[in-house]
């Protein structure tokens, strides 16, 4: 298959490109490099376009004619959405709509949307934008016949490709940076916030299974195992500083996530457990 990945220079996008190329697919990518990094690129990517999904050139899709699109480009920082809701909307709603329109108009065979467990926390702009993306995918399927599927990732980890650019970087990248720079880690609130952690390598497998299926709708991509931030911090084996609880934080993002539909219908089940070995890139 010829595949286009938006956000191809990002954490999940670059790993997905590696995985799909390894499986024999031809991959092209787009990324604006705001948080992604060109050093993440697989050298076997057929073509890279430095483009922003908010105003991406539709001629790229017309020219490349991908069979599948994996739409991963987004603002994925919850607290940045709280700080700048307009930025979040433009990237996650307008950007997703742009990609869906191009997929529809160019008869793309399959559109895989990267959603998030954040939809279980209805108190941030990030929640609104990811839920809107899921709904746009549903409507484009029912109204226009575009084959779509949305994957609600739990918290993703697994390598140091997680961006440290900009503000409000994600949890494990933040802990890694803090320990490297200060010898300590900091955690917001009490540290008893629980998360479901899925390896990026399992996420890649889930994406390919989703693309190959003919199923529509929304699937949780998770492990079903919840781990507190205090438990995560223990792996870092250094002093912990507790700071003020962040606005928009949620005690248990994954309480409503269910791994069974993905297992039963997509044939996906996680393989990599959260432990010292799988966390080793950050420690």
Residue numbers annotated as active site: 126
Residues 195/226, Cβ–Cβ less than 8 Å: yes
DSSP class of residue 162 equals: S
- Rounded to an integer, what distance in angstroms lies between the CA atom of residue 93 and that of residue 98? 9
Distance CA 260, CA 62 (A): 37
Distance CA 236, CA 22 (A): 32
CA–CA gap between residue 201 and residue 158 (Å, rounded): 7
> What is the strand order of the sheet 155-157 is part of?
155-157, 194-199, 226-228
d(CA 76, CA 37): 15
């Amino acid at each position: 298959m010829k595949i286009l990945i938006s956000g191809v220079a990002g954490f999940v996008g670059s790993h997905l490109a590696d995985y799909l190329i390894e499986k024999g697919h031809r991959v092209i990518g787009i990324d604006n490099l705001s948080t992604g990094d060109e050093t993440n690129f697989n050298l076997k990517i057929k073509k890279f376009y430095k483009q922003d999904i908010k105003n991406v050139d539709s001629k790229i899709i017309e020219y490349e004619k991908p069979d599948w699109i994996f739409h991963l480009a987004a603002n994925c920082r919850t607290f940045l959405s709280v700080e700048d809701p307009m930025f979040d909307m433009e990237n996650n709603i307008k950007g997703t709509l742009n990609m869906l329109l191009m997929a529809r108009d160019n008869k793309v065979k399959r559109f895989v949307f990267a959603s998030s467990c954040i939809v279980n926390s209805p108190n941030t702009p990030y929640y609104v934008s990811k839920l809107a993306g899921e709904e746009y995918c549903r409507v484009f399927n029912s109204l226009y016949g575009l084959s779509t599927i949305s994957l609600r990732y739990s918290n993703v980890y697994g390598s140091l490709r997680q961006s440290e650019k900009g503000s409000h970087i994600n949890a494990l990248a933040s802990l890694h940076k803090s320990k490297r720079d200060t010898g300590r880690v900091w955690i917001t609130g009490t540290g008893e916030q629980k998360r479901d952690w899925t390896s990026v390598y399992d996420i890649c497998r889930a994406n390919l299974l989703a693309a190959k299926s003919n199923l529509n709708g929304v699937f949780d991509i998770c492990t079903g195992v919840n781990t507190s931030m205090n438990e995560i911090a223990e792996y870092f084996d250094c002093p912990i500083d507790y700071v003020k609880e962040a606005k928009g934080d949620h005690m248990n993002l994954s309480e409503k996530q269910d791994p069974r539909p993905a297992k039963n219908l997509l044939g996906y089940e996680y393989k990599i457990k959260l432990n010292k070995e799988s966390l080793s890139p950050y420690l």
